[in-house]
Structure 1
Amino acid sequence: MPQAEERRASRLLPSLWDEAHASTLDEPGRLLYRSNLLGADKRITNYGGGNTSAKLTEKDPLTGKDVTVLWVKGSGGDVGTMKRDGFATLYQDKLEALKGLYRGPEHEDEMVGYLPHCTFALNPRAASIDTPLHAYLPYPHVDHMHPDAVIAIAATATSKDLTHEIYGEEIGWLGWRRPGFELGLELSNFAKENPEAKGVVLESHGLFTWGETARECYETTLRIINKAIAFLDEKTKDRPAFGGLIQEPRSQDERRAIAARLMPEIRARIGQDERKIGHFDDSAAVLDFVGSKALGELAPLGTSCPDHFLRTKIRPLVLDMEGGIDQVISRLDDAIAAYRDDYARYYESCRHAGSPAMRDPNPVVYLVPGIGMITFAKDKATARIAGEFYVNAINVMRGASAVGTYRGLSEQEAFDIEYWLLEEAKLQRMPKPKALAGRIAFITGGGGGIGRATAQRLLSDGACVVLADIDVSALDSAKADLSERFGPDLVRSVRLDVTDESAVAQGFEATALEFGGVDILVSNAGISSSAPIEDTELAMWNRNIEILGTGYFLVSREAFRLFRRQKLGGAVVFIASKNGLAASPNAAAYCTAKAAEIHLARCLALEGAEAGIRVNVVNPDAVLQGSKIWTGEWREQRAAAYNMAPDELEEHYRKRSMLKRSVLPSDVAEAVAFLAGDASAKSTGNIVNVDAGNAQSFTR
């Protein structure tokens, strides 16, 4: 097979159905299995998009009789990651009875209020607005997907003719209609009038397919999508995407450097009312689009599939790279202001009497020719998913513009979905954001006990966290553990020597690229040493000063630079030590360096206040649990200083404290969370001792 044909063949979707596994599952299990297989491939459907269903026979818990129950993906779920409890279950006969209550398209939204009355077995999963689309199709198994290839056909000006050209009578076509009760009835009528059809293309929306069994439905869905993929591949095989490039991609290093510089600047301009988290994508599909001849024509048209612009807004903001990055930044204020004005125009021209108030008018998607795509949202997952949705939109525009004229939804249709009262009600039901949602924390010494506990504490409050540590093994372990517990979107890591000026700058650049900036610095990298002054070698002295003094200076300086560019304030927390206030024998180098940290924090508190940058100190004492500095010689040396065995040290410190309690990493993390968050918004230049009580280290 020639290479070009081989590549085209490899783009077709393979069936991953394992009958040996499927045969061990009950019918709801096979529905879930099918759903997860379909949702695992973003070419089939976008995150949270599409839905699957099965009409199954169940025992009615009230009568004990067999009844038909519709199992359908519930509201807000994702077919790729959902579990069994992600399905809504409804009595089919009650859903049929709703037809008698329907008063016509102008009243269809009120039908959603009846769906809870159809619930089977008190299932708490809310039914989605797509429920009637599945309920009224006379087939046991139904898939509704948003495949890029099919939407590319559905979003052309001649989509009906193209659908017939590709599928003949096997797949039908319905004109654009917003999802809801009326579309459910239209699908039902189509199925009755076309009993041989295997599915239908919805204009500017997606694909419905069906079958008698879970496997038949799954394989029909793949086959229909593959036909569209093959058709588009054949039509586009000798044509450059989007008419070809007029802006060649920069090198990867250049792209990353420019994005890292640009993202905090965007964040400064859109994050004043609500902190935003960024995401960068310079994949081949994105670079083909943002550097293309067709960018100026296609980008303003917006997306077509309803799921797309719910995540990405009606259109992106294109940033012209002419004149270089400095000129781009100088034009940002005007570019974003113009976007907001246009969004306000869109809202005012399309709004209805009862429309919700205008939401955040800032762009979500930023397209930068030669560089890539930047997306910003209230959290990392939403920013990443918005980027994925726009990649879906790029794929749709690529296919549609190659075989016809791409057509996005009109502004009014787009508005009617974006500001749909049912969507607004869904937004209002979302949980309140956590205390540090939208904040980005950079933690040095992130692989150690205090650093790891601090990361966990900030993550639990909704922050994104970058772990920085010179110990790769500890760093990898911490990242893996925290990613599993809080999700991979929220945790990044960077190997960092805090005494290396260029490495520190690169660490913050990497953070800006991953999340868009920094809001919180926890300076925690540490070492320990113990020796009488006459035995303290210069190398030991210098090492303490370099890591505990110079290291804290370098990371603070870089954080301040980023804070000032973002204009969003900032919070710096130094993890110093009781020894910074209370001298200890045989530890002159360590105690001196820790005292320097405390005074550096005071200086920075003075400098940062006018920019809203707060700098505070946490002074722990004797945190042995999970601490890297208490392993090896330091533990032995401190035990020797007190003339005791190393395993007696923790109990010694506990008894020495005024409160007679051991200090744990989580105790220090609690103090950091307070000083990093809004609860301490009016505190700077302070010291919080977390030492279980030590009179020598009282600050006053």
Structure 2
Amino acid sequence: MIENMYKAQAAADWRAAAGADPADQELAERVYTSRLIGQNPDLLMHGGGNTSVKLERPDLFGEMRPVLHVKGSGWDLDTIEAPGLPGVWQEPLLKLRALDKLSDEDMVNYQRSSLLNSASPNPSVETLLHAFLPHKYVDHTHATPFLILADLPNAEEICREIFGDRLGIVPYIMPGFSLAKAAADVYDANPDVEGLLLLKHGHFAFGATAQESYDKIVQHTNEVADYLGLTELTPIGERLPANGLEMLPVLRGVIAEVTADRDGAMPVFDLRNGPATHAFMARGDVDALAARGMASPDHVLRTKGWPLVLKQADLTDRESIKAKVEAFAVDYRAYFDRQAPQAAEPKTMLTPDPKHAWIEGIGVLGIGVNAKAAAASADLAEQNIRVRAVAEDAGGFYPIGEKDMFDCEYWSLEQAKLGKGTPPPFQGRVVMVTGGAGAIGLATAKAFAAKGANVVLVDRDQEALDAALSQLGRWHAACALDITQADAADTAMAAAVAAFGGLDILVSNAGTATGGALVELEDDAFRAAFELNFFAHKAFATAAAKLMQDQGRGGQILFNISKQAVNPGRNLGAYGTPKAATMFLMRQLALELAGSGIRVNGVNADKIRSGLLTDAFIKERAAARGVSEEVYMGGNLLGREVEAHHVAEGFVNLALMERTTGHVITVDGGNTEAELR
């Protein structure tokens, strides 16, 4: 059952923070209740709903005019802010109801021309539905219980049994002008209704206050849940520790092999594997349910119309997995060829790759161009298996048909977006950074993340990793371990597979400097220096290479070497010697892995504020030499301090050099004695 989370004090706090303008206060409470809806995945997820409030604001001449604030494109209700509810002059919108038809393109243009602020995002495609309803507050959700109800073959009959005449029932029409008119007509036929059931789509509720509208959303949803016997809803997003995920990197590589060009990115995965997921996969009607379509029309934009289904017998080897992915692509092209000729305008086929998978014994897999997209797909996939199971057992799961599904997936407004945006260079790439909580490691992680990568940080200290992740932001992962331990590399690779499905780039960065003259250094200390500064690099590089070979799409290994590898420093032999061995390791692996398309390169840096080179140490060394800290740190040809972000830029630039392997670049401000040639 859905818990009502409205708190009067919280609503008052939102209003107070908005200032003295009553309209701004109303909008603030609208933001508050919108977030309450958006933060409950069993009410809606990922753009699958919208909210609005009708206010009055002055125009340029000071005349008060009615305004509709409605969710804008690109905003999610769980994190929405006031700018995410752009204001639209309401009077021009109401005039549209007199039209017999209106294209989506003309509707969007007209709505934009009615914005109070031309810089605002596009108002929702369901703006007119909100406008045509007279209530001050309107909420639209895709709640799990309502999706079950909406997709039943006798949904109208059951809706009447639950609600009587309290809900209006709207037949399925694709979102836009026609749906808005139809919903308004249903409302006009009975203005006493508390809300609307949109068959095969979702639920609307409304009220005079934000609380009243939100209360009805929760109340109606719980009435449906109670009828269906859904006393407890399994949380969306269950990720449990799992074994047997070795097939995920293979699947990742195969999907790209079948549907992308040679250098195209592999997809990113998000695995959900709670008990409810496995219970669903054990049903005898999984294949039939997979072919039925998605629970709500907007889901197909993130999930496509059906999952890739893999049984245990399909997971035996790469060729078996590839055959299933190829069959999916063939089916998808056939679907396009059936439906595209019937469309009103020419359509451009989307890539024929799956966007979610049901894998027996493994779980449900979200598949996307990055971790955010994969998570959205996984969320919707989880919700869909719940809807399908309950609906099928309650009378049958019958969502929209193939033509309607195609019309949604190939909606003209979505088609218009194709080719207009350039993805960031590392979109779809998973990057692992060892020593990821340190100065150079975190700077490197930030540099890759800024260009679209999803990052796995590896370091010993969990608290330091947590702090690093808080700076890095969402959609990244961490693995706390000692990289010198025997199984550390395999554990880290498994963490990357569990988090994102595989690995594209390893930045083998972790290390520390052991000081002391070699003739005085104990063998144990020297061996320990080699464990961290050479053997850990070797272990991670070879484990990463094997994972990349499983994917079959190449990859990159980048080493943080050091100028010490070519320019020894006094009393730093225990650091420079393993670093020199690491540079040879880089060259050897470049030779051995080139045939697998794996590039191996390195960065030689010098005198970075990290590790032993703390602020206190710098101050001490500068004083001992009788120079300022600036002069000490800028002791290079350029006379400028080299900082961690400069080293990070070196790693990123190497990763972008697609035809370079076996190369070391120097990031030291200029040191003639450390030059390689």
Q: CA deviation at 1:588?
A: 1.9
Q: Does 1:504 align with 2:504?
A: no
Q: CA deviation at 1:72?
A: 0.8
Normalising by structure 1, we get a TM-score of: 0.89
Contact kept? 1:205, 1:305, Cα under 8 Å: yes
Worse-matched range after superposition: 352-361 or 578-587: 352-361
Pick the aligned partner of 1:664 from 617, 628, 643. 643
Post-superposition CA distance 1:295-352 (Å, at most 9, x none): 12211112130122221110001101138x4x15441111011100000010000112
Partner of 1:48: 47
Contact kept? 1:31, 1:214, Cα under 8 Å: yes
Pick the aligned partner of 1:21 from 10, 34, 41. 10
Post-superposition CA distance 1:242-279 (Å, at most 9, x none): xxxxxxxxx965xx2222x1211111112242421111
Q: Distance in 1 between matches of 2:465 and 2:30?
A: 40
SS at match of 2:78: coil
Contact kept? 2:602, 2:664, Cα under 8 Å: yes
Partner of 2:441: 451
Contact kept? 1:152, 1:398, Cα under 8 Å: no
Pick the aligned partner of 1:385 from 360, 370, 376. 376
SS at match of 2:51: strand
SS at match of 2:197: strand
Q: What is the total number of aligned residue pairs between the two structures? A: 655
Q: Distance in 1 between matches of 2:277 and 2:358?
A: 9
Q: CA deviation at 1:365?
A: 1.1
SS at match of 1:183: helix
Contact kept? 1:155, 1:408, Cα under 8 Å: yes
Partner of 1:629: 612
Matches within 5 A, 1:260-409: 261-272=246-257, 273=260, 274-275=264-265, 276-322=267-313, 325=315, 327=316, 329-351=318-340, 352=343, 354-409=345-400
What letter matches 1:297 in structure 2?
A
Please, which runs of 5 or more residues in structure 1 have no aligned partner?
A: 1-11, 242-250
SS at match of 2:665: strand
CA distance 1:650–1:108, shift in 2 (3 Å): closer
Pick the aligned partner of 1:86 from 46, 66, 84. 84
Q: CA deviation at 1:688?
A: 0.9
What letter matches 1:436 in structure 2?
F
Matches within 5 A, 1:566-605: 566-605=551-590
SS at match of 2:229: helix
Pick the aligned partner of 2:517 from 532, 544, 567. 532
Post-superposition CA distance 1:30-86 (Å, at most 9, x none): 2111111111101111121111111112212x2211211111111232112111000
Pick the aligned partner of 2:181 from 166, 180, 185. 185
Q: CA deviation at 1:495?
A: 1.7
CA distance 1:173–1:634, shift in 2 (3 Å): same
What letter matches 1:114 in structure 2?
Y
CA distance 1:646–1:437, shift in 2 (3 Å): farther
Q: CA deviation at 1:632?
A: 10
Q: Distance in 1 between matches of 2:215 and 2:251?
A: 45
Partner of 2:244: 258
Q: CA deviation at 1:583?
A: 1.8
What letter matches 2:637 in structure 1?
M
Partner of 1:210: 206
Q: Distance in 1 between matches of 2:616 and 2:582?
A: 23
Partner of 1:36: 35
Q: CA deviation at 1:545?
A: 1.4
Post-superposition CA distance 1:669-689 (Å, at most 9, x none): 110110112xx1111111111
What letter matches 1:557 in structure 2?
T
Contact kept? 2:168, 2:187, Cα under 8 Å: no
Q: Distance in 2 between matches of 1:378 and 1:492?
A: 17
Q: Does 1:609 align with 2:594?
A: yes
Pick the aligned partner of 1:693 from 664, 670, 674. 670
Q: Distance in 2 between matches of 1:558 and 1:287?
A: 30
Pick the aligned partner of 1:438 from 413, 428, 433. 428
Q: Distance in 1 between matches of 2:50 and 2:626?
A: 59
Q: Distance in 2 between matches of 1:130 and 1:647?
A: 71
What letter matches 1:257 in structure 2?
N
Partner of 1:549: 534
Normalising by structure 2, we get a TM-score of: 0.92
Contact kept? 1:263, 1:516, Cα under 8 Å: yes
CA distance 1:478–1:387, shift in 2 (3 Å): same
SS at match of 1:629: coil
Q: Distance in 2 between matches of 1:173 and 1:339?
A: 36
Partner of 1:95: 93
SS at match of 1:451: helix
Matches within 5 A, 1:111-190: 111-122=107-118, 124-190=120-186
Q: Distance in 2 between matches of 1:586 and 1:123?
A: 61
Q: CA deviation at 1:651?
A: 4.6
Contact kept? 2:171, 2:199, Cα under 8 Å: yes
Q: Distance in 2 between matches of 1:165 and 1:648?
A: 86
Matches within 5 A, 1:198-237: 198-233=194-229
Q: CA deviation at 1:438?
A: 0.9
Please, which runs of 5 or more residues in structure 2 have no aligned partner?
A: 16-24
SS at match of 1:628: coil
Q: Distance in 1 between matches of 2:320 and 2:286?
A: 19
Matches within 5 A, 1:452-471: 452-471=442-461
Q: Does 1:104 align with 2:95?
A: no
Contact kept? 1:355, 1:419, Cα under 8 Å: no
Post-superposition CA distance 1:160-202 (Å, at most 9, x none): 1111111111012111110111111111111111021111111
Q: Distance in 1 between matches of 2:297 and 2:457?
A: 37
Q: CA deviation at 1:647?
A: 9.7
Q: Does 1:518 align with 2:503?
A: yes
Matches within 5 A, 1:67-78: 67-78=65-76
Partner of 2:20: none
Contact kept? 1:48, 1:78, Cα under 8 Å: yes
Worse-matched range after superposition: 394-403 or 360-369: 394-403
What letter matches 2:179 in structure 1?
L
Contact kept? 1:153, 1:399, Cα under 8 Å: no
CA distance 1:316–1:171, shift in 2 (3 Å): same
Partner of 1:9: none
Q: Distance in 1 between matches of 2:344 and 2:58?
A: 46
SS at match of 2:539: helix
Q: Distance in 2 between matches of 1:377 and 1:412?
A: 24
What letter matches 2:157 in structure 1?
D
Q: Distance in 1 between matches of 2:55 and 2:417?
A: 28
